Amino acid sequence: MQDRLQDIWPGAGHAHLAPDGQGWLRPTPAYIAHWLARPELALVAESCKAERALHRALQADPLRPVTPAELQALRDPDARDSYGHVLALRDGLLRAGSLEGWLLALFRSGRITLPPLFIDAVVQAIVQQLLAGERNSPADALAWRAAELFFRPQRITVEQGRLLAADSATLAQAQATQGLGELGRLLAQAQAPVKPLQLRVLDGGDGTAPRYWAEAVQADFRSSQLLDLTHTVQREIGQGIAFTMTAARSGLKPLAALLARWVQHLLGVAVRVEPLQQIDDPRWRWHLGLDAEASALLDDLYEGRAVEADRLSRLISLFRLDFVNPAEMRTDVAGLPVYLGLMSNPAQLLRMKPQNLLLNLPLARSV
């Protein structure tokens, strides 16, 4: 197995980025060319003369300035939008000097006009940098799969007491085709009986990790393996006796470790993060949700408002975040933990917002 970071998630374009002294990723002409090669910008038979000319010009020089008049000359409005978005991303990255600087400025501005696809791809490349060197053991595959929560929506299900996350787009496609590609789609249209869909759980062991690595090096990578987000499991040992044990191969622990690295990398603040099943702390003073649903739930719990059981059941996990150096916190909460929450919406879809960690921590200073 090759241990080259650029082999993993090639669609993120990490291989075309240049880390600076602090590990932040500088955009290069090759990275911009990677964006310009996206299918959304590919020429088609209907492409007009102006679009073909712009396509050739940017292929020759990905950093070439493009005037508003050149964009307006494109006859297809979809092509105009696609080029406009990619050029806005390009120019923003070049001004910021790094993917991290651009991302922080974007989130802090509160003015997000780019589609989620663009932001998710930048987040993916940054997370890939955080995982550098972690492809040496089967357990590392669990960390890479957990990292997908940063930039890819997940569908949450409960099976035999285990909380499982499936890549939402992969699951939708697999359900439409029963995992049989175009043949499966045709069988479904014909209402022909097919074998029930079965997705495997990535357990971080020798049995499932090779499949993850094999998928992760594909240009159109989408994980087909489920991520276990279970805190504990119950084991029956007979005679009506059962015991509870920690889910050793849960993705919660590597996810927590990556959340800590995310904060360190982008804010320069060292923190520890650990999964938590409940908050029982009379000193609870600060919390934030890692998604919109968890933010609202933690607000209600903190204020002592009643919360419906079905809403509580959608809580995937809590986390406790501690600053390594309490002096880097606001003085009124220095030394106290920060509680985090992760939760699916009523449709059982999880859309994590890692930017919440960048915007809402009780920092003593502006970073």
Both 204 and 321 in one domain: the answer is no
Question: What does the pLDDT read at residue 238?
Answer: 44
CA angle 185, 189, 194 (to 5 degrees): 65
In-domain check, residue 163: yes
Report the mean per-residue pLDDT for the chain: 89
Both 242 and 256 in one domain: the answer is no
| CA atoms of 255 and 10, how far apart (whole Å) | 21
Both 225 and 270 in one domain: the answer is no
Quickly state the pLDDT bin for 183 (edges 50, 70, 90): very low
Instruction: Pick the range with the lowest mean pLDDT from 7-11, 105-109, 143-147, 296-300.
Output: 7-11
User: What is the tally of structural domains in the chain?
Assistant: 3
Question: What does the pLDDT read at residue 122?
Answer: 98
In-domain check, residue 365: no
197 sits in which H/E element: none
Question: What does the pLDDT read at residue 220?
Answer: 85
Both 195 and 300 in one domain: the answer is no
Quote the domain boundaries for residue 269: 252-359
Both 125 and 171 in one domain: the answer is no
**Residue 106 phi, psi dihedral angles, 5° rounding:** -65, -50
**160: Cβ–Cβ under 8 A, 6 or more apart, which residues?**
none
pLDDT in tens, 295-351: 999 999 999 999 999 999 999 999 999 999 999 999 999 999 999 999 999 999 999
Alpha helices in the chain (DSSP H): 29-36, 49-60, 68-72, 77-96, 99-109, 116-130, 138-147, 168-177, 181-189, 209-216, 252-267, 292-303, 309-312, 355-359
The answer on pLDDT for 290 being more than 90 is yes
In-domain check, residue 367: no
Question: What does the pLDDT read at residue 318?
Answer: 97
Structure tokens, 359: 């915007």
Question: What does the pLDDT read at residue 20?
Answer: 95
Question: What does the pLDDT read at residue 94?
Answer: 97
Structure tokens, 246: 């920690």
Identity of residue 261: R
In-domain check, residue 366: no
Percent of the chain exceeding pLDDT 70 equals 87
Taking the model in full, what pTM does it have? 0.89
Provide the pairing of β-strand 241-246 with 286-289. unpaired
Structure tokens, 9: 């998630």
Strand partners, 243: 235
Both 153 and 242 in one domain: the answer is yes
Instruction: Pick the range with the lowest mean pLDDT from 198-207, 252-261, 343-352.
Output: 198-207
Question: What does the pLDDT read at residue 190?
Answer: 54
Both 91 and 161 in one domain: the answer is no
Both 220 and 269 in one domain: the answer is no
The pLDDT of 30-58, averaged and rounded, is: 95
